[in-house]
């Protein structure tokens, strides 16, 4: 199969420019995620192929040396985009050496076609290897459909380049004009076109997936403390309660309320109050298992969800948390703020008619008992179905109780 080479060159140029425009529009006036660098790479790619298409019309310095330098700069800009996507500083040396090497070596290889193929393809394959390394960095790997599309596109390009290197060593490549139609030229340009489309779409998908993940975190996380918000807690409660009912397993729920929190805000200010909440959350996380969940239920109240936890284990944990918080030192602007909590707890088997709001109401009632008993203590209840009428709960989960001060 032999396609018309000038037509394929025009397709690659047009495709690169359209994708560059699309990336520029997507990233316009938004937080930079490397889209500007990726769009720049596509523009450089287009310019390189414009020069390649002028072989025999413009000088060899432009159509050979500068064109290959631009191709090397394309891969360097792609590498910069991936590093910027990770919010890491650009790897200047890794970006610069291929461009400098191509410019220097190709000036001396203008009359040696096979040597240019070997050197150029080897450098490009090394640059693709750098892109693969950036995608799989152990510190923060980039899984997902976007990364896979980039790997596919760049992997295809690497295979094609490796094939040209092998062909040059084996003598299968003969010096020819770039614009001469042939099977090898067709395969080369088809791979280039697929790489542009696949890798660019992959980068767009990576950005979209990150945005979706960020929106999900914002929708389910309390911005001050970083723990689950009320909606996420209710979703987890419904899930774990249903599982506990099916598996006949115990479940524990704790309502943790910071004592005299209004006084902290009045005496030390609301920023100090925020610091106290963050301090309490950090201490709660120290004693929780990976399957446990802590969330901010409202104001200074936190809810702990403990699957597969019986009353004895929950009582021991609650007492340890109460003592740990009371003994800790919470320092704000050089001053120590005394912090204690009152914990209300429900733990035990879940009945077939029990609902999440009934369980939370039971723990909430126990927490009130702890406050009435002098604060800085733990109270527990073993049943929840008789308490729901006291609170007038609503099942929509938007607003359950006002915060207690």
Starting at the edge strand that comes first in sequence, how are the strands of the sheet with 250-258 ordered? 293-298, 301-307, 250-258, 341-349, 378-381
Residues 6+ apart with CB under 8 A from 143: none
Element (H, E) at 172: none
For residue 366, what are its two tokens? 């126990």
Is 158 within 8 Å of 199 (Cβ atoms)?
Answer: no
CA distance 255 to 137: 41
Is 365 within 8 Å of 255 (Cβ atoms)?
Answer: no
CA distance 293 to 248: 20
Cβ neighbours of 8 (radius 10 Å): 20
Residues 6+ apart with CB under 8 A from 139: none
Digits of tens for pLDDT over the chain (405 positions)? 566 777 888 999 999 999 999 888 877 766 567 888 999 999 999 999 999 888 888 998 999 999 999 999 999 999 999 999 888 889 999 999 999 999 999 999 988 888 888 999 999 999 999 999 998 865 555 557 888 899 999 999 999 999 888 877 776 666 555 566 667 777 888 899 999 999 999 998 888 888 777 777 777 888 899 899 988 899 999 999 999 999 889 999 999 999 999 999 999 999 999 999 999 999 999 989 889 999 999 889 999 999 999 989 999 999 999 999 999 989 998 889 999 999 999 988 888 888 888 889 999 999 999 999 999 999 998 777 544 444 433 333 334 444 443
CA distance 395 to 291: 25
Strand ranges inside 226-340, DSSP E:
250-258, 293-298, 301-307, 330-332, 335-337
Backbone angles phi, psi at 208, to 5 degrees: -65, -45
Strand ranges inside 82-196, DSSP E:
none
For residue 221, what are its two tokens? 């996380």
CA distance 235 to 109: 66
**DSSP symbols for 313-358:** HHHHHHHHHHHHHHHS-EEETTEEE---EEEEEEEEEPPTT--HHH
Tokens 């340009």 label which residue? 189
């Amino acid at each position: 199969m032999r396609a018309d080479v000038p037509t394929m060159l025009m397709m690659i140029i047009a495709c690169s420019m359209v994708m560059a425009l699309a990336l520029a529009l997507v990233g316009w006036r938004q937080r930079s995620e490397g889209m500007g660098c990726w769009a720049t790479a596509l523009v450089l790619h287009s310019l390189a192929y414009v020069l390649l298409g002028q072989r025999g019309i413009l000088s060899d310095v432009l159509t050979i040396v500068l064109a290959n330098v631009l191709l090397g700069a394309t891969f360097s800009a792609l590498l910069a985009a991936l590093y910027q996507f990770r919010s890491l500083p650009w790897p200047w040396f890794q970006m610069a050496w291929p461009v400098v090497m191509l410019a220097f070596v190709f000036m001396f290889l203008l009359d040696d076609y096979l040597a240019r193929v070997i050197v150029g393809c080897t450098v490009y394959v090394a640059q693709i290897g750098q892109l693969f390394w950036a995608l799989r960095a152990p510190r923060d790997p980039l899984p997902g459909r976007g990364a896979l599309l980039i790997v596919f596109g760049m992997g295809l390009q690497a295979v094609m380049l490796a094939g040209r290197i092998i062909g040059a060593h084996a003598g299968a490549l003969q010096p020819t004009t770039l614009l001469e139609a042939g099977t090898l030229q067709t395969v080369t340009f088809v791979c280039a076109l697929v790489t542009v489309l696949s890798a660019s779409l992959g980068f767009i998908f990576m950005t979209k997936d990150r945005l979706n993940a960020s929106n999900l975190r914002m929708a389910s996380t309390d911005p001050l403390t970083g723990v689950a918000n009320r909606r996420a807690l209710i979703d987890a409660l419904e899930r774990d309660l249903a599982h506990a009912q099916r598996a006949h397993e115990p479940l524990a729920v704790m309502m943790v309320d910071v004592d005299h929190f209004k006084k902290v805000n009045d005496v030390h200010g609301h920023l100090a109050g925020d610091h106290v909440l963050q301090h309490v959350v950090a201490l709660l996380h120290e004693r929780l298992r990976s399957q446990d969940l802590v969330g901010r239920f409202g104001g200074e109240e936190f809810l702990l969800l403990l699957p597969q936890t019986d009353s004895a284990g929950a009582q021991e944990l609650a007492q340890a948390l109460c003592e740990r918080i009371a003994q800790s030192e919470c320092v704000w602007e050089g001053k120590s703020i005394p912090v204690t909590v009152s914990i209300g707890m429900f733990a035990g088997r879940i009945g077939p008619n029990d609902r999440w709001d009934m369980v939370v109401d039971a723990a909430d009632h126990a927490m009130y008992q702890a406050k009435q008993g002098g604060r800085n203590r733990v109270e527990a209840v073993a049943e929840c179905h008789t308490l729901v009428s006291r609170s007038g709960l609503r099942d929509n989960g938007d607003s359950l109780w006002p915060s207690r001060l």
